[in-house]
A and B are shown apart, each in its own frame.
Chain A
Amino acid sequence: MAVAEFDIPEMKDDIEIPKLREGVMSHIKSFPAPKSVQDFMGYPHELGEDWKERAIDKMGDLLGKYRSLKVFLDACVHCGACTDKCHYYLGTSDPKNMPVARQDLMRQVYRRYFTTAGKLFPKLVGAKDLTKEILDDWYSYYHQCSECRRCSVYCPYGIDTAEITMAGREILNHVGMGQKYSNEILGKVQKIGNNLGLPGPALIDTLEGLEEDIEADTGVPVKMPIDVKGAEVLLITPSADFFSEPHVESLIGYAKVFHAAGINWTLSTHAAEAGNFGLFNGNYETMRKVAMRIRDAALELGVKRIVVGECGHAWRVAYSFWNTLTGIGYGGNDPFSIELQKQLDPTYPQPQHICELTNDLIKSGRIKVDPSMNDDLIVTYHDSCNVARASRMGTEPGGQFTIPRELIKSVVNNFHNMADDTIYEATYCCGGGGGVLTDDLMEVRVKGALPRATALNNVVKEYQVNFMATICAICKAQFTKVLPKYGFDMSMVGGVHQLVSKAIKLD
Chain B
Amino acid sequence: MSTVTMIYAGMFYIATFLLVVGLVYKIFDYSRTPAPLVIPTTPAPTTRTGVVYRMAKEVVVFESLFKSNKWIWVFGWLFHFGLLLVLARHLRYFTQPVWFWVDIVQPFGKYASIMMVAGLAGLLARRFVVDRVRYISTPSDYLMLVLLIAIGVSGMLMTFVAHTDIISLKEFFMGLMYLDIQPLPQDPILMVHLALVASLMVIFPISKLLHAPGLFFSPTRNQVDNPREHRHVAAWAARLDQNN
Contact = CB atoms under 8 A, between A and B. Distances in A.
Contacts of B141: 77-78
Interface stretch (A7-15, A250-258, A330-338, A373-381): A330-338
Contact of A397 (B42, B64, B65): B42
Interface string B116-142: 000000010010001111011111110
Nearest to B144: A77
Interface in B57-80: 58, 62, 64-65, 67-69, 72, 76
Interface residues of A, number: 82
Nearest to B123: A79
A75 B229 CA distance: 31
Given A157-B215, A391-B42, A392-B42, A349 B228 contact: yes
Nearest to B44: A397
B30 A70 contact: yes
Contacts of A70: 29-30, 33
A121 B206 CA distance: 11
A368 interface: no
Given A331-B229, A336-B241, A65 B65 contact: no
Nearest to A98: B132
Q: What 10 pairs across the A-B complex have the smallest Cβ distances?
A: A75-B214, A126-B138, A154-B68, A158-B220, A397-B43, A80-B133, A83-B132, A158-B221, A81-B68, A156-B65
B35 A124 contact: no
Contacts of A363: none
Contacts of A115: 206
Given A70-B33, A398-B43, A75 B208 contact: yes
A334 B230 CA distance: 12
B43 A160 contact: no
A284 B36 contact: yes
Contact of B36 (A65, A292, A333, A395): A65
Given A126-B140, A329-B228, A154 B67 contact: yes
Nearest to A279: B37
A20 B219 contact: no
A126 to B, nearest CB: 4
B217 A324 contact: no
A319 B227 contact: yes
B241 A104 contact: no
A105 B225 CA distance: 30
B143 A79 contact: no
B179 interface: no
Given A155-B68, A334-B241, 14 more contacts: A20-B131, A22-B135, A68-B220, A74-B26, A81-B64, A98-B136, A116-B206, A117-B140, A117-B203, A156-B65, A156-B211, A158-B219, A392-B225, A397-B225
B14 interface: no
Nearest to B230: A331
Contacts of A126: 138-140
Given A77-B211, A337-B231, A397-B46, A19 B133 contact: no
Interface in B199-244: 203, 206-208, 210-211, 214-215, 217-221, 225, 227-234, 236-238, 240-242, 244
Contacts of A149: 41
Interface in B176-218: 203, 206-208, 210-211, 214-215, 217-218
B81 to A, nearest CB: 14
Given A284-B237, A390-B39, A160 B133 contact: no
Interface of A: 17, 19-20, 22, 63-68, 70-72, 74-85, 95, 98, 100-101, 104, 115-117, 121, 123-126, 149, 152-160, 163, 284-285, 288, 292, 319-321, 323-324, 327, 329-334, 336-337, 349-351, 388-392, 395-398, 400-401, 425
Given A67-B35, A284-B36, A320-B38, A158 B64 contact: yes
Contact of B228 (A121, A330, A396, A425): A330
A78 B35 CA distance: 24
24 contacts: A65-B34, A65-B236, A68-B39, A71-B217, A75-B211, A76-B211, A78-B133, A79-B76, A80-B72, A95-B136, A117-B207, A153-B41, A156-B68, A157-B221, A158-B219, A321-B37, A323-B228, A329-B229, A330-B229, A336-B241, A350-B228, A389-B41, A392-B43, A395-B46
B45 interface: yes
A324 B232 contact: yes
Nearest to A83: B132
A85 B68 contact: yes
Q: Which of B35, B39, B210, B219 has the most CB of A within 10 A?
A: B39
Interface string B136-162: 111111010000000000000000000
B41 A152 contact: yes
Contacts of A74: 26, 208, 210-211, 214
A355 B76 CA distance: 41
A121 B217 CA distance: 26
Nearest to B76: A79
A349 B227 CA distance: 11
B199 to A, nearest CB: 13
A20 B132 contact: yes
A60 to B, nearest CB: 12
A384 to B, nearest CB: 12
A80 B64 contact: no
A400 B43 CA distance: 8
A410 B71 CA distance: 41
Contacts of B208: 74-78
